Amino acid sequence: MKTRWMLCGLLVLGLLVAGTARAQDSLVVYSSVDEENAKKLLDAFTKATGVKVRFTFLSSGPAVARIEAEKNNPQADIWYGAPSENHVVLKEKGLSQPYASPNAKDLAAKFKDAEGYWTSFYMNPLGFASNVNILKQKGAEPPASWADLLKPELKAQVQTPSPQTSGTGYNMVAALVMIMGEDKAFDYLKKLNPSIQTYTQSGTAPSKAAAIGQAGVGIQFTPAFLQLIEEGYPLKITFPKEGVGFEAPAISILKGAPHLDLAKKLVDWSITIPGQNAITDAKTYFFPVHPQARLAKGLPSFDEVPAITYDAVWAGKEKKRLVDRWINEVLRAPK
């Protein structure tokens, strides 16, 4: 009987050890890429390399907060996605570590940190998506400028992400400051407030609201717009003639990453031509950053988008101050 119990105990112990070993072999990722596209890309990485991945979706604000809360006992290896200015914040807080991938040599300087703390792996412009049926009912045309959003026909018809919780929302604020100058940009944002139906927590929520007619116009990065149009929703994409910012979402390896070698493999693979082509093959509607990668059919050439010269390093350093100003002067302003 004693021998039987010993054998059972050894079996249970063996299963626990095996399970622990399997967990230790998995790369742990906090992803600010939307869940559907993150799964597509990380599955492609696993298929190409054999590295298993466990990921948790977090918008950029909650991601930084969680990484900071866990800094003395890191639970993840990688922060995957969110515009690169958010990764500048991570670097400034001492929460990431440098890794200069040998594959980064083919990327433009704007897509990588000079010291290797972050590496961008795709880009997308900010744009407007109008529900043509809703705007027709309101007697409005799809906006072709930032000024068009102030028209009375669009009162309470616009959804845009909050810069408090969304890297997309902050990208819009920072881009407007670069386009208009800071004081004029905040004056504009206060004037825009009556047009805003809601400031969404997620960077991808406005596209869904516009698609189903909950809002007339959604403002965010373009991939979800392009996907919804392909699915048959009555959306039209326009870009403001004054210019738009763009995101260049990045990968950072977290300081104290438990699986450093596996984390480096994800950075390396994500900016190879096969890794970049996976962005197109998986129908993410993202723009690859490698100059030799394939561009998906139907995507506008990035050269055709009125993208500004977006200073992600400046935006990252100024984020807390600009978000605080937005809360005090815009969010709390009466509509």
CATH of the domain at 233: 3.40.190.10
**Average pLDDT of 17-43?**
79
Checking if the pLDDT of 78 tops 70, the result is: yes
User: Which of 82, 97, 76 has its CA nearest to residue 23?
Assistant: 76
Q: Are residues 269 and 157 in the same domain?
A: no
Task: Compute CA 209 distance to the chain's CA centroid, rounded to the nearest angstrom.
Answer: 18
**pLDDT value of residue 20:** 40
Q: Are residues 137 and 189 in the same domain?
A: yes
Q: Are residues 252 and 107 in the same domain?
A: yes
pLDDT digits (tens, 9 = 90+) for 255-299: 999 999 999 999 999 999 999 999 999 999 999 999 899 988 777
**pLDDT value of residue 247:** 87
| Close Cβ partners of 103 (under 8 Å, ≥ 6 residues apart) | 268, 271, 272
**pLDDT value of residue 155:** 97
In a domain? residue 306: no
**pLDDT value of residue 313:** 87
> Where does the pLDDT of residue 335 fall: very low under 50, low under 70, confident under 90, or very high at 90 and above?
low
Domain count, the chain: 2
> Where does the pLDDT of residue 30 fall: very low under 50, low under 70, confident under 90, or very high at 90 and above?
very high
State the CB neighbour count (10 A cutoff) for residue 61.
21
pTM assigned to the model: 0.74
- Using CA atoms, how far apart are residues 232 and 259, in angstroms rounded to an integer? 42
**Average pLDDT of 191-209?**
96
Q: Are residues 85 and 175 in the same domain?
A: no
**pLDDT value of residue 96:** 98
Q: Are residues 41 and 156 in the same domain?
A: no
| Range(s) of the domain holding residue 59 | 25-123+248-300
First to last CA, the chain: 77
Q: Are residues 66 and 44 in the same domain?
A: yes
**pLDDT value of residue 24:** 54
